[in-house]
Amino acid sequence: MNQLILTAEMGIAQALNGLKKHQEAILKIDKVIHDFHQSGNLNAEAYALLLRGYFYSKLHQFSRAEPSYLQSAALYEKLGNPQKLSNIYTHLSGHYTDLKDIDKALEYGEKTLALALKSSNLGLQWDAYAILAEARAVEGNHKLAYQHMGKAFETLLESSKQTLESQTILMREQFDAERKEKENTILAEKLAIDGLILSSKKREIWILSILVIVMTISLVALLRAYRSTRYLAQHDGLTGLLNRRQVLRQGEQEFERAKRYHTPLSIVSFDIDHFKEINDEFGHAEGDKVLKCVGNICKDVVRGSDFVGRLGGEEFLIVLSHSEKEGALKFAERVRERLSQDVNHHLRCTVTASFGVVQMSANDTDFESLLQRADIAMYHAKSHGRNQCSTVDLQIVSSA
């Protein structure tokens, strides 16, 4: 069968699965796998096997999903595709974590990490550390879970730095090009004016006025470019929320203010549940829609004195000034309910999130220590079923 037709059939299977017609989707993908195998297209066969694993996973039939994942992994290993192989091991580790089979979860998590460290792909490294942190948290080894999550955030920070540097270079080049173009335009106009033979004082005044207008327009354009550059440097391009660097900077300022004036300060750290599976099943475009919806909800619910930012990936942070833990927990519950209602109403996929809520204490030396406590609380919520808010305290977890 023509490869384009088989690819189209595979897309139909994905659409059927997205419409929750799982049995039809599985029958369709079974035939596609057979035909790709007969044609000798190993790459397409490996991807079709991976999709079948996703389909069975959605039906919570992991005993049937696992063979498809392993067959796909064998083909990708033969094809020398470490990124796809790492993706499969990540899914296997996550499934075993959900099944509380921690030994298997850690085995595949370590395989994922080994592949990720051999590559320069920081996204793979983030996934590997995060899946290991989740497995350790379910195991009850919160110390190792925290260490793995720390590595994940170091990787995310490095990725954010690289992204910011590339964006800054691009914006600087665009800014310099626009400025050079405007300078050349002004210079050309000035030379043209200098070459004119003025016949009267009135004509001189008219030409001077034109030059002033041109320079004013150029200055306004430069000012707009500067404001646009500043906005892009402080905000996340997808959600419009503060980016990681800016929300942490403002959080540190709010921490110092609360400490100086002895006012309460609480933060809410939350992470979209199973976001990787949303991307894998529905595509990254649908995942971007989820992130945009979450961003809009956050902007809608926060007070004028509070602020919210995207830390990276599917993780967000809300800083609530003059708020104690009880009020912050109620606020987090409202956000969680809005996510379940609004996002699920507008999109095809089911979206939930896990929240960690903490209040600044005398033991917090800086904003980073407060954020670490919030992360522990969030991962406690994840390890206890997800789609909930947790106020577990860092000191309690450390002494357990």
* Domain coordinates in residue numbering, the chain: 3-144, 161-234, 244-399
Euclidean distance between CA atoms 65 and 84, whole angstroms: 16
For 358, phi then psi, to 5°, come to -140, 155
Q: Kindly tell me the sign of the dihedral angle through the C-alpha atoms of 113, 116, 121, 127.
A: negative
Nearest Cα neighbor of 14 from 286, 273, 275 is 286
CATH homologous superfamily for the domain 244-399: Reverse transcriptase/Diguanylate cyclase domain (3.30.70.270)
Beta bridge mates, 321? 265
Read off the pLDDT of residues 204-215 as tens digits, 9 standing for 90 and up. Answer: 777 777 877 877
CATH code: domain 3-144 is 1.25.40.10
Residues 6+ apart with CB under 8 A from 142: 136, 376, 397, 398, 400
Overall pTM surpassing 0.85 (yes/no): no
159 pLDDT above the threshold of 70: yes
The more confident residue out of 321 and 210 is: 321
Q: List the single range of 202-206, 263-267, 339-343 with lowest mean pLDDT.
A: 202-206
Answer yes or no: same fold for 3-144 and 244-399. no
Compute the radius of gyration of the chain from its Cα atoms: 27
Taking only the tens place, the pLDDT of each residue in 238-260 is 999 999 999 999 999 999 999 99
Q: What is the pLDDT of residue 395?
A: 42
pLDDT confidence of residue 196? 57
